[in-house]
């Protein structure tokens, strides 16, 4: 009897031990300082967002606005909305955006639900590079305007001219907007139509990016243009609460006239007293400069002034404008395709203002601008005019100016030129 009890006890204890082992074999040992570094940490990735909406939660379609397409066309045909909802969206949008200003080529995005019944959940329209309109249709119609994150990067650039400033900018993978900025800054000191191979530039500037795409150059701080053996510096300096560009001696880079009425083109015919006319096939004086440029290229007023003549010359200059700048100078612009808004006789214009567009009206074989300058009523060669500068840095500001430009000039000079 005692033997049976002993055997039963041993078996019972064995069963208890087995149960304990099975229940506890997957329990991890307590975490200590020695074991914590060996634990795997699971990171939950952030959801990918598009205009603030999680991409994986919607079916997304993107399009560009087509010619003559409006908000109603997009939301009824692409979005499947009723006109009543479209009207509500347009009404809600009024405080922030006029939906009648839908532009061809602008991007819009449709966010559809992934339910069995596919419905438009949100609509986004890109107003420009930074601003976009959102119509949220989740519960009720909510329309608001948002702005993309703009990243500003300080940059340095340089380039050696091979054929033109524009081509060099492209070859060096620099934003084309810098070419526009440099042409504006040095418009009064550098003849961009006479740039020579070997001329070079350097610049320090800010560039703005949205979604890794360059959208703007808001500010050039300092620049150097080496042209025909001379160095032309430009420093952005504040005087009397006004910022402007000055050279290293404190002279303003602005002058009474621009160097040319077009930003980018080429001289196709120069001032001459004996030129063969390509249409009339005769020799006669050509008291102006022809700038060949694509049709529609903006034409800028050479300086401040007042329009004294506007019209059309059927057997001559076609559409033309004349601007009187002062008691000495008058400029003429011919063969225009058309005129800018507000260009009427007697209207005042500002230096650099767009007054018309390159065309080939009148006696012209192709699109170009016939530009003429009159000094006290007599035609003079526009390429040989020396315009006086505007107000330089004042004597009381000169010491501050010299100290201000020292680091900028040193940084400019240290920028290396491309090895090619």
3-state SS class at 388? coil
Residue in the structure block whose two tokens are 């061809």: 104
CB atoms within 10 A of CB 362: 19
How far apart are alpha carbons 15 and 21 in whole angstroms?
Answer: 10
How far apart are alpha carbons 304 and 210 in whole angstroms?
Answer: 36
Nearest to 257 by CA among 353, 387, 350, 381: 387
Residues found in the chain: 420
Q: What is the three-state SS of the chain? A: CHHHHHHHHHHHHHHHHHHHHHHHCCCCCCCCCCCHHHCCCCCCCCCCEECCEEHHHCEEEEEECCCCCCHHHHHHHHCCCCHHHHHHHHHHHCCCCCHHHCCCCCEEEEEECCCCCCCEEEEEEECCCCEEEEEECCCCCEEEEEECCCEEEEEEEEEECCCCHHHHHHHCCCCHHHHHHHHHHCCCCCCCCCCCCCCEEEEEEEEEEECCEEEEEEEEEEEEEEECCEEEEEEEEEECCEEEEECCCCCECCECCCCCCCCCCEEEECCEEEEECCCCCCEEEECCEEEECCCCCEEECCCCEEEEEEEEECCCCEEEEEEECCCCEEEEEEEEEEECCCCCCCCEECCCCEEEEEECCCCCCCCEEEEEEEECCEEECHHHCCCCECCCCCHHHHHHHHHHHHHHHHHHHHCCCCCC
CB atoms within 10 A of CB 348: 12
All domains of the chain, ordered by start, with CATH?
Answer: 49-147 (3.10.450.350), 149-255+389-420 (3.10.450.350), 266-384 (2.70.70.10)
* Burial class of residue 213, CB neighbours in 10 A (0-12, 13-18, 19+): exposed
From first CA to last CA, the distance across the chain in angstroms is: 107
Alpha-carbon distance values, 280 to 78, 316, 361, 362 (Å): 57, 10, 15, 12
Q: What is the pLDDT along the chain (420 residues), one digit of tens a residue?
A: 555 555 555 555 565 555 555 555 554 555 455 554 555 566 667 778 899 899 999 999 999 999 989 999 999 999 999 999 999 999 999 999 999 899 999 999 999 999 888 999 999 999 999 999 999 998 889 999 999 999 999 999 999 998 888 889 999 999 999 998 998 898 878 877 778 899 999 999 999 999 888 999 999 999 999 998 899 999 999 998 889 999 999 999 887 788 889 886 667 675 555 444 454 454 455 668 888 888 999 999 998 899 999 999 877 789 999 999 877 789 999 999 999 999 999 999 999 999 999 998 987 778 889 899 998 788 888 887 776 667 899 999 999 999 999 999 999 999 999 986
**Per-residue pLDDT at 36:** 47
How far apart are alpha carbons 143 and 135 in whole angstroms?
Answer: 4
What is the CA 239 to chain-centroid distance, rounded? 27
Residues 20, 21, 24: CA angle, nearest 5 degrees: 85
CB atoms within 10 A of CB 232: 17
**Per-residue pLDDT at 282:** 47
- Rounded to whole angstroms, the maximal C-alpha distance in the chain is 144
**Per-residue pLDDT at 268:** 62
Residues facing residue 143 across a β-bridge: 135
Q: Which two tokens stand for residue 229?
A: 């053996």
Q: Which two tokens stand for residue 420?
A: 């090619």
How far apart are alpha carbons 299 and 359 in whole angstroms?
Answer: 10
**Per-residue pLDDT at 4:** 53
């Amino acid at each position: 009897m005692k033997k049976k009890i002993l055997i039963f006890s041993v078996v019972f204890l064995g069963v208890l031990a087995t149960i304990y082992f099975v229940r506890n074999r997957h329990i991890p040992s307590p975490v200590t300082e020695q074991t914590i570094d060996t634990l795997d940490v699971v990171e939950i990735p952030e959801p990918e967002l598009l205009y603030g909406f999680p991409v994986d939660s919607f079916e997304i379609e993107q399009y560009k606005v087509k010619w003559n397409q409006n908000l109603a066309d997009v939301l009824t045909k692409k979005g499947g909305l009723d006109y009543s909802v479209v009207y509500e969206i347009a009404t809600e949008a009024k405080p922030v955006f006029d939906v009648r200003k839908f532009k061809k080529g602008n991007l819009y995005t449709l966010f559809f639900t992934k339910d069995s019944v596919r419905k438009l959940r949100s609509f986004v329209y890109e107003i420009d590079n930074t601003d976009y309109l959102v119509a949220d249709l989740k519960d009720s119609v909510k329309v608001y305007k948002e702005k993309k994150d703009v990243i500003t990067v300080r940059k340095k650039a340089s380039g050696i001219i091979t054929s033109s400033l524009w081509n060099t900018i492209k070859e060096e993978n620099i934003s084309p907007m810098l070419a526009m900025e440099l042409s504006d800054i040095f418009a009064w000191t550098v003849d961009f139509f006479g740039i020579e191979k070997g001329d070079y530039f350097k610049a320090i500037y800010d560039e703005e990016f949205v979604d890794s795409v360059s959208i703007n150059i808001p500010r050039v701080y300092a620049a150097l243009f080496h042209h025909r053996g001379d160095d032309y510096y430009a420093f952005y300096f504040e005087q009397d609460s006004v910022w402007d560009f000055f050279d290293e001696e404190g002279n303003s880079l602005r002058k009474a006239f621009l160097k040319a009425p077009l930003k980018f083109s080429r001289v196709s015919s120069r001032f001459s007293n004996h030129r063969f006319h390509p249409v009339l096939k005769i020799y006669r004086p050509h008291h102006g400069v022809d700038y060949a440029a694509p049709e529609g290229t903006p034409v800028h007023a050479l300086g401040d002034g007042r329009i004294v003549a506007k019209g059309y010359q059927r057997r001559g200059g076609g559409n033309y404008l004349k601007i009187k700048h002062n008691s000495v100078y008058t400029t003429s612009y011919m063969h225009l395709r058309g005129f800018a808004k507000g260009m009427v006789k007697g209207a005042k214009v500002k230096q650099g203002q767009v007054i018309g567009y390159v065309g080939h009206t009148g006696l012209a074989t192709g699109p170009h601008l016939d530009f003429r300058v009159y000094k006290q009523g007599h035609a003079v060669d526009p390429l040989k005019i020396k315009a006086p500068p505007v107000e330089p840095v004042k004597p009381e500001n000169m010491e501050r100016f010299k100290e201000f430009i020292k680091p900028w000039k040193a940084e400019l000079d240290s920028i290396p030129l491309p090895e090619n």
